[in-house]
Amino acid sequence: MTVPSDSPSSGAVGATTSARPPRAASPVSLRLAMVVFLGGAVGTGLRYLLSALPQAGAVHVGTLAANLAACLAYAALTSYLSQASWIPRRRKEPISRGMGMGLCGGLSTMSTLALEEFDALHAGDLLGGAGYCLVTFAGGLLAAWAGVRLGLVLSRRREMAALAVEERETAR
């Protein structure tokens, strides 16, 4: 489509230029937003349930469990989906957004961890606060590593099962 242009950069009054609609930075899909919202509601509910776990010194067990579980689950999901050629791409995005961004994002909590760390420091428990921080971050890295391994193992098993079915059908 061309439209007349009277801008100085067009060269002449009445010259035509290609009219292009302005590009949106990143359109947000209402469907995906709802998937993230629902996953986040479940993750936040789980985090709330875990908050009832008793504290062990400076370590808030519920927060630690939530953060480690989210690291493990998100890494497992990501590595599984990266290898899951049998899942159509259009289905991977809602799974990733709902389970990863939504559920794992709602389950994990950096802000609560920061508040708990400040509480420990304010109470004068520098060693306990530092230990809790170290356990959380080192544990998160280990949980993510384990999650990647788990996702790869699960995707490999699924792939092998599919190949076995295919071989049986071919043998008939």
Domain ranges of the chain: 29-171
Helices (H) and strands (E) in the chain, counts: 6, 4
CB 70 within 8 A of CB 43: yes
- Amino acid occupying residue 4: P
Measure the CA–CA gap between 144 and 74, rounded to whole angstroms.
8
The tens digit of pLDDT for each residue in 111-164 reads: 999 999 999 999 999 999 999 999 999 999 999 999 999 999 999 999 998 888
Q: Which of 21-35, 89-103, 152-166 has the highest mean pLDDT?
A: 89-103
Longest dimension (CA), the chain: 77
Binding site residues, as ranges?
105, 108
Q: Sign of the CA dihedral 158, 84, 155, 42?
A: negative
Binding site residues for Na(+), as ranges?
105, 108
The tens digit of pLDDT for each residue in 46-81 reads: 999 999 999 998 899 999 999 999 999 999 999 999
